[in-house]
Structure 1
Amino acid sequence: MALFDLPLDQLRGYRPDPDEPADFDAFWERSLGEAAAHPLDAEFTPYDAALTAVDSYDVSFAGWGGHRISAWLNVPAGAEGPLPTVVHYLGYGGGRGLPLDHLVWPAAGWATLVVDTRGQGAVNHHSAGSTPDPHGAANPQSPGFMTNGILDPETYFYRRVFTDAVRAVEAARSHPSVDPARIVVNGASQGGGIAQAVAALSPHVKAAFVDVPFLTHYRRAVEITDKDPYQEIVRFLATQHGAQEQVFRTLSYFDGVSFAARATVPALYSVALMDPICPPSTVFAAYNHWAGPKEIEVYPWNGHEGGTTVHRRAQLRKLRDLA
């Protein structure tokens, strides 16, 4: 993929006004309040992962609508005292897989909660998921998740996902191995977009690692990339004539730029300048609005894979400072 977006010097100053409705904060306060009416009821069942250095738990808790959400909790074996913890959100289409897929953070001495994304985890080569989405789409949709319920913010898929993700932080904090004051949220692509939202919506997050985030600056994304998942929105609009105003009104409640502007904890971002899936200008739009301390690692010659293990090393060093 060639360089196709703004040059880096312009990206560093790219700070478009957030496209958000007047009731953005009220919408999320109400959404989280409705979820809080359901007991969290977090369950941690010891799981035989055949690992000697990590203790694993099969986790279930009540997310949006009281629906059960699955996760894994990996804890360094023999660790004493409550541990700093990474709450990890997954990329588009992926599921939680198995505990052995998530060993980097425990190897650094951190507990890790790996959160399933409802309805996902049965796509191509991605890891399997085990969390259904009992709340069906309220409108015709392009295959995928981007247009599920997109004609109304009340029914939009990511209202449920972001709410689940906030509840996941609460579930992690309820386990005795987790230090409730040292929670870092993390994810790449869809997971990065979810982490952005949770950092703004949860008062219990200490820091955020946001990698090549999806679900950010939607209007520009659909106009400059022809790659999925953003193209799901384009295909929807190409058939549902006259829906444009409703669609972008809904998306304005879920835009990472608005969440970033409300997040005050330290953040470490990554961006790849040849990323055709999450264009770099959409990442910088959120990063430049982030309200707390922040750093961004730029990978000029990478695509959506971002900085891969080189960036993970940077994150591990940052975790060491936060511990």
Structure 2
Amino acid sequence: MTHFDLPLDQLRTYRPVLEEPEDFDAFWDKTLAEAREHDLDATFTPVDVPLTTVDVFDVTYAGFGGQPVKGWLVLPAGATGPLPAVVEYIGYGGGRGLPHTHLLWAAAGFAHFVMDTRGQGSAGLVGDTPDPVGSGPSHPGFMTRGVEDPYAYYYRRVFTDGVRAVEAARSHPLVDASRVAVLGASQGGGIAIAVGGLVPDLVAVAADVPFLCHFPRAATLTERNPYREIGYYLKTHIGADEQVFRTLSYFDGVHFAARGTAPALFSVGLEDQTCPPSTVFAAFNAYAGPDKAIKVYAFNDHEGGGYFHQAAQLDWLPRHLRG
């Protein structure tokens, strides 16, 4: 696929006017306050793995509604002092996977907390966290589960789990609670942006080809899932457009980006049909935190910069984690 979205010079200044719910902050304050009524109850159980360079813990903590969410904590072997930490969120359809797939950040000397994504984990990386909350009729996938009501919407639960994952990571004695960053690719990048807008004292946000941004444009620009799930839903639920996009506005990465306070590194592929460039730039250009940067991969699709971008993150992120 060649370039199909706006030219790069227009992308760099693209600032769409999106309708933000008047109660956006109140909605999220209420959501997080309700979650915090439940004891975090984070447990870290050592896992015997045939790896000599890391120590691994099987994590369970209370996420949305006090419901148990799984994760991994991967530490450099024998770590004795509080370490800066990276909290990672996973791409669409994937779960936390197996410990040996998460070695990069521990190898760089950091604590690495990987959040399982509720209800996902059957596409690519395996998952271990169910989503016990029901919803109304939805298109297969996750994008339209509960989309008739922001309080019932699937990503209300996931974003809340993401905030609680930061709190769980901070609760471990070998994590320096004052030096925590969040990162992820695709869906994980969208969750990282949301958490960055909800948690005010992170040291960095790294969002690689982020999903869940600028829903009105994404739903009409790309034919690929997951965004296309919205169109398929509306093709059947004729006349529900206004309510669906109002619900989605409570979860749009552009609005969370406008509340970001930490330095941020984004990436974008200019041939990305899964997360079109204009949707990524809409969030990046709205991002309010200091020291923001975006890596542009001109001839790449949704893989973005791949391992080249990992190298960029390994250069950028430690500078913020280590102060």
TM-score (norm 1): 0.98
Mapped partners of 1:299, 1:167: distance in 2: 32
Question: Which runs of 5 or more residues in structure 1 are unaligned?
Answer: none
Confirm or deny: 8 A CA contact 1:19 1:258 kept in the other structure: no
How many residues end up aligned between the 2 structures? 320
Task: Calculate percent identity across the aligned residue pairs.
Answer: 62
- Give the aligned partner of residue 182 of structure 1: 179
Match of 2:151, SS? coil
Q: What letter corresponds to residue 299 of structure 1 in structure 2?
A: Y
Q: Does 1:48 align with 2:48?
A: yes
- Give the aligned partner of residue 321 of structure 1: 319
Q: What letter corresponds to residue 53 of structure 1 in structure 2?
A: T
Q: 1:26: Cα distance to partner?
A: 0.2
- Give the aligned partner of residue 91 of structure 2: 91
- Give the aligned partner of residue 266 of structure 2: 269
Confirm or deny: 8 A CA contact 2:204 2:317 kept in the other structure: no
Match of 2:267, SS? strand
Residues 81-109 of structure 1: CA deviation (Å, up to 9, x unaligned): 10011000000000101110000001100
- Please report the RMSD computed on the Cα atoms of aligned residues, expressed in angstroms: 0.7
Q: 1:320: Cα distance to partner?
A: 2.6
- Give the aligned partner of residue 132 of structure 2: 134
Q: What letter corresponds to residue 111 of structure 2 in structure 1?
A: A
> In the TM superposition, what are the counterparts of 1:1-323 in structure 2 within 5 Å?
1-123=1-123, 126-137=124-135, 139-293=136-290, 294-322=292-320, 323=322
Confirm or deny: 8 A CA contact 2:200 2:260 kept in the other structure: no
Mapped partners of 1:252, 1:25: distance in 2: 12
Mapped partners of 1:241, 1:89: distance in 2: 33
Mapped partners of 1:203, 1:218: distance in 2: 24
Q: 1:19: Cα distance to partner?
A: 2.5
Mapped partners of 2:312, 2:80: distance in 1: 26
Q: 1:80: Cα distance to partner?
A: 3.0
Match of 2:122, SS? coil
TM-score (norm 2): 0.98
Confirm or deny: 8 A CA contact 1:216 1:283 kept in the other structure: yes
Mapped partners of 1:310, 1:78: distance in 2: 30
Question: Which runs of 5 or more residues in structure 2 are unaligned?
Answer: none
Q: 1:79: Cα distance to partner?
A: 2.2
Residues 264-314 of structure 1: CA deviation (Å, up to 9, x unaligned): 110000000000000000000000010012000000000000000111011
Residues 58-99 of structure 1: CA deviation (Å, up to 9, x unaligned): 000000001000000000012231001100000000010111
Residues 206-225 of structure 1: CA deviation (Å, up to 9, x unaligned): 11001111000000001110
Q: Which runs of 4+ in 1 moved over 6 A?
A: none
Residues 185-218 of structure 1: CA deviation (Å, up to 9, x unaligned): 0000000000000001013411100111100000
Mapped partners of 1:18, 1:265: distance in 2: 23
Confirm or deny: 8 A CA contact 2:91 2:186 kept in the other structure: yes
Q: What letter corresponds to residue 49 of structure 1 in structure 2?
A: V
Mapped partners of 2:51, 2:134: distance in 1: 37
Residues 7-50 of structure 1: CA deviation (Å, up to 9, x unaligned): 00000000112331000000000000000000000000001121
Confirm or deny: 8 A CA contact 1:219 1:248 kept in the other structure: yes
Match of 1:288, SS? helix
Match of 1:229, SS? coil
Q: 1:319: Cα distance to partner?
A: 2.4
Mapped partners of 1:134, 1:46: distance in 2: 26
Q: What letter corresponds to residue 208 of structure 1 in structure 2?
A: V
